[in-house]
Structure 1
Amino acid sequence: MGIHDWARAALGQSLDTAKRDDFSEELALRALLSAVVERSAQLRPTDDLAQELTFLADNLDPERDYGFMRP
């Protein structure tokens, strides 16, 4: 199992727990994201983390075309 597979499995388990505790999936995901960013900020330089988060936010749309991609 790769690290991304592990992360998806851990996320699924966390969401299952949140559902059992009557938290909405959206609320649980927002709380998890905040916790991950908070913990990451303890381990990584702020600028590095901010750049990664900006990249992820800028690339949320799976339908987006990029200038360097061929049709």
Structure 2
Amino acid sequence: MSVYTLAKKIVQEGIDQGQQAGYGEQEMARALMAEVLNVYRRERSLVDIAHELNFLADNLDEDIDYAFMRP
């Protein structure tokens, strides 16, 4: 199992548990993101984290190639 498949499974399980506890999917997503950022802070600089988040935000549209890709 790839790390991405494992992460997807864990996130879905968290969302399911959150819904059983009365939390919405978006609430859980925000809480999970906050925890991911806490993990990043253990070993990465704030600037590095900001660069990664900006890259991800700039490339949210899955139908468009990443900015660094060539046709």
Query: Shift of the alpha carbon at 1:22?
Result: 0.7
Match of 1:68 among 46, 67, 70: 70
Partner of 2:30: 30
Distance in 1 (alpha carbons) for counterparts of 2:43 and 2:70: 33
- Unpaired segments of 5 or more residues in structure 2? none
- Unpaired segments of 5 or more residues in structure 1? none
Distance in 2 (alpha carbons) for counterparts of 1:8 and 1:43: 23
CA RMSD of aligned residues (A): 1.6
* TM-score, length-scaled by structure 1: 0.83
Distance in 2 (alpha carbons) for counterparts of 1:3 and 1:32: 17
Moved over 6 A (4+): none
Which shows bigger deviation, 35-44 or 8-17? Answer: 35-44
Query: Shift of the alpha carbon at 1:33?
Result: 0.6
**Number of paired residues?**
69
Letter of the aligned partner of 2:45 in structure 1? P
Q: Percent identity?
A: 30
